[in-house]
Amino acid sequence: MNEAKRSIPFIVATAGHVDHGKSALVKTLTQEDPDRLPEEKRRGITIDLGFAQWLLRDPENPSTQYDLGIVDVPGHEDFVKNMISGVGAVDLGLLVVAADDGWMPQTEEHFQILEYLAVPNLIVVMTKSDLAEGEADFVMEMIREELKATRFEEAPIIATSTKTHEGFDALGNAVSDILKRQPAHLDLGKPRLPVDRCFSVKGMGTVVTGTLIGAPFTTDQSVCVQPGNLQTKIRSIQHHHAQQEAAAPGMRTALNLPGTTLRKEHAFTNTSVGRGQVVTIDGLGENTTCLDAIMERTSRFDKPGNPINGCIKSGTRIRVHIGSDNIPGRIHFSNHEPMPPGSRAAARIRLERPMFAVEGDRFVLRDWSQQGTLGGGRIWDADSSHRKLSHLEQQTYLNHLSASSGDAHDYLRARLARDHGIQLDTFAAKGQWTAKQLAREAAKLVKAKQAIKRSDWLLDTKWWNTNLTVMADHVILFHQTHPDKPGIPLETLRREFGTLLPSLDLLPMVLRELGKEHAIEQAGECLCHQSHSVTLPDRLAPLADQILKELSQTPNEPPARKHYDTSQDAGDAIRCLIRMNKVVEIGTDLLVLQSVHEDYLHKIKNHLTTQGPSTVSSLRQVLEIPRRIAIPLLEKLDKEGQTIREGDLRKWKAI
């Protein structure tokens, strides 16, 4: 057969009750025995995850080959936790049901787990068809009954036998039929490899394996292992025992990580790696012990696979399975009501040790003693420790996402409604969406006038406009109550409104917008309305007269501002004089009379427009002022755009 031109990686996982023929199915499909442990061979059951590669040609398009990484899971009820750690990023589930046994407790439990993890495709493989004894149709009927009213109602059911080889062509066709419609794994620029196996190879050191998602990994790439923030480098990469320069998302991937050791159980050290940890890159978020989620419980509580059918009380100790990890913790519901089967609820999970998780990730909850699966859900706040779950904004945020499809658009809108302002760059680094996807969704919100963009901030339009109006009203109210003051001190505004803003970095934008939309301008350290004119209160009149008198006595040699500004009243008098256009502030420490300032400006303009660009010292001579005034005066004019500085020279703006 000709070489396939395209090889598309996908992950396929088996699922189903113990002894129903999952491993035998994988062996027939791939000629590899997924059971590798001596104990598995001895007992004839699968204990831990097994892996194999299935290269499947698309029969309709032989130039396309599916490079399927098969994860074979154990069916025994004691090893469900191992099963979950293998099915985190699966494109297709093969739910195995033995024809001589039918739908059994772990068929049901595994089925629910695949549902909670939102596995996109399912094929039911009815194995051991050679043992069906004329009951095959009936068993198929029963299986179809179990699938009713689920996402997989229409899933193919294919009868196979590893003894007679019946059904394997049909199975291959069904798999390729599904996968040709399945989108390839995306490169989000955010690689994550939840470690599901970790072992040591002589001469190489530690090797970890897992299903790579989010972005490729390449040889020599610097990576970190979370939780633990262990920094290392990829020395080499293998994909199903073949050495590769790079691995793509959706590939079973083995990484050789130099300088790391095998972790013993939960004894985390700063060099050790083990199942449950995630190989990733820096900057994709922090480890967390507190997360908020939308949790759901199936209504299939009467099925035999779910021994834990009752309500879950708020505060119950549980185990959270996420990626390849499982961590003990407690679940709390916002209304403190117990959560019945067949419902959804906003929940907070407090973990007993840190985990690396990303918003949008799905998880499964099992009871503390690992008797059964309680439910599943999706993380929507990967670090909620600084918020209250009962807080209205957090409730609204979670409920909004609960009722949505949870795509990039819904996520961005919900976050904007909760946080009011989002700094897109840092925001995009976390979560499951690319900066490009989020920028596209942000542009849509801006177009619909639901958001406005200011530098890299996306702001909720209604919230932004309301706050600007409130601030502008506050300035006007201040004028009414303090007619003698030039305006509200910026510091007061910052104190009173700073907590409204998601970041104080937004303050300069607020000030600009107040000027543009509300005629509020900044005068020195104050904010005032353009129409506000200061009336000098009687108590300040003698001080103001004194300042004006002194300034006019030595107009070109004014004393430093601190010479006058010695009391609250003196400061108020100076601010009044500035607002009344009687004196001008040059730099932070100099005042000159308005008339003197006008004279300077006139002379500078005249000199620069007739003599051309000039140095500070020639301008000083024209103005007959010392350097101490000339420098801040020219810097002020530069800032205002009246003059332009070019090296040592100044030129007039109009030239």
Ligand X SMILES: Nc1nc2c(ncn2[C@@H]2O[C@H](COP(=O)(O)OP(=O)(O)OP(=O)(O)O)[C@@H](O)[C@H]2O)c(=O)[nH]1
Interface with ligand X (CB under 6 A)? 18-24, 45-46, 74-76, 96, 127-128, 130-131, 161-163
Pick what 437 binds: ligand X, Mg ion, none; C-beta below 5 to 8 Å, kind-dependent: none
Place of tokens 């070109």: 556
* Partner touching 163 among Mg ion, ligand X, none, CB below 5 to 8 Å by kind: ligand X
Name the minimum Å distance from CB 448 to Mg ion: 52
Partnered with residue 651 across adjacent β-strands are 644
| Residue at shortest CB range from ligand X | 75
Candidates 3-11, 20-28, 96-104, 572-580; binding stretch for Mg ion (CB under 5 A)? 20-28
Q: Which one of Mg ion, ligand X, none interacts with residue 402, CB within 5 to 8 A by kind?
A: none
Residue 353 burial (CB count, 10 A): 14
Question: Please, which residue, 92 or 94, has the CB nearer to ligand X?
Answer: 94
- Angle formed at CA 447 by CA 443 and CA 450, multiple of 5 degrees: 95
Nearest distance in Å: CB 276, ligand X? 21
Return the number of other C-beta atoms located less than 10 Å from residue 462's C-beta: 13
* Contact between 23 and Mg ion per CB under 5 A: yes
Nearer to ligand X, 22 or 485 (CB): 22
CB of 124 to ligand X, least distance (A): 14
Phi-psi map region of 21: left, alpha, beta (phi>0 left; psi -120 to 50 alpha): left
Read off φ and ψ for residue 280, nearest 5 degrees: -150, -160
Q: CB-wise, 197 or 575, nearer to ligand X? A: 197
Binding piece for Mg ion, criterion CB under 5 A, among 21-29, 108-116, 166-174, 435-443: 21-29
Contact in structure between 413 and 405 (CB atoms under 8 Å): no
CA atoms within a 13 Å half-sphere pointing along the CA-CB vector of 441: 19
Nearest approach, Cβ of residue 114 and ligand X (Å): 15
**25/213 with CB nearer Mg ion:** 25
Smallest separation, CB 155 to ligand X (Å): 19
DSSP letters, 395-441, are HHHHHHHHTS---HHHHHHHHHHHHSEEEHHHHHHSSSS-HHHHHHH
- C-alpha 366/C-alpha 320 separation (Å) is 7
Number of residues that bind Mg ion (CB under 5 A): 3
Nearest CB to Mg ion, comparing residues 41 and 180? 41
- Cβ of residue 68: shortest distance to ligand X, in angstroms? 18
Closest CA to 357 of 324, 388, 379, 326: 379
Cα 369 versus chain centre, distance: 32
Task: Please identify, using beta-carbon distances, which residue of 108 and 359 lies nearer to Mg ion.
Answer: 108
User: Should residue 162 be labelled a site residue for Mg ion when binding is judged by CB under 5 A?
Assistant: no
Task: Name which of 102, 109, 103 is nearest 76 in CA terms.
Answer: 109
- What is the smallest separation between the CB atom of 104 and ligand X, expressed in angstroms? 11
**Which residue, 96 or 637, is less far from ligand X as judged by CB?**
96
- The option from ligand X, Mg ion, none interacting with 9 (CB < 5 to 8 A, set by class) reads none
Contact characters 45-84, Mg ion, x per CB under 5 A = -x--------------------------------------
The separation between the first and the last C-alpha atoms of the chain, rounded to the nearest angstrom, is 77
CB of 443 to ligand X, least distance (A): 50
Q: Which residues contact 447 (CB under 8 A, 6 or more apart)?
A: none
Q: Could you tell me the smallest distance in angstroms from the CB atom of residue 39 to ligand X?
A: 11
Name the one range near Mg ion by CB under 5 A: 15-23, 475-483, 489-497, 642-650. 15-23
Find the part of the chain contacting Mg ion (CB under 5 A) among 41-49, 173-181, 259-267, 453-461.
Answer: 41-49
By CB under 5 A, is residue 27 in contact with Mg ion?
no
- Element holding 222 (H helix, E strand): strand 222-226
- Min CB(45)–ligand X separation in Å: 3
With respect to ligand X, which residue has the nearer C-beta, 36 or 482?
A: 36
Half-sphere exposure of 548 (CA within 13 A, CB side): 17
Interacting residues of 626 by C-beta distance below 8 A, sequence separation 6+: 556, 557, 620
Beta strands in 465-604 (DSSP E): 488-489, 520-523, 526-529, 583-586, 590-593
Report the residue number, 75 or 214, with the smaller CB distance to ligand X.
75
Candidates 42-50, 236-244, 459-467, 556-564; binding stretch for Mg ion (CB under 5 A):
42-50
How far CA 135 is from CA of 10, 101, 105, 139, 501, in Å, comes to 34, 11, 20, 6, 68
Q: What is the pattern of x (binds Mg ion, CB under 5 A) and - over residues 419-458?
A: ----------------------------------------
Would you count residue 128 as binding Mg ion (CB under 5 A)?
A: no
DSSP bridge partners of 120? none
Residue 131 or residue 429: which is nearer to ligand X going by CB?
131
Closer to Mg ion at the Cβ: 22 or 529?
Answer: 22
Region of 18-26, 217-225, 432-440, 556-564 interacting with Mg ion (CB under 5 A): 18-26
Angle between helices 168-179 and 22-30 (to 10 degrees): 80
Contact (Cβ atoms closer than 8 angstroms) between residue 252 and residue 198: no
Q: How far is the CB of 195 from ligand X (least distance, A)?
A: 22
Cβ-proximal residues to 610 (8 Å cutoff; 6+ apart), any chain: none
Give the tokens for residue 645: 């500085």
Measure the CA–CA gap between 256 and 342, rounded to whole angstroms: 44
User: Site residues (CB under 5 A) for Mg ion?
Assistant: 22-23, 46
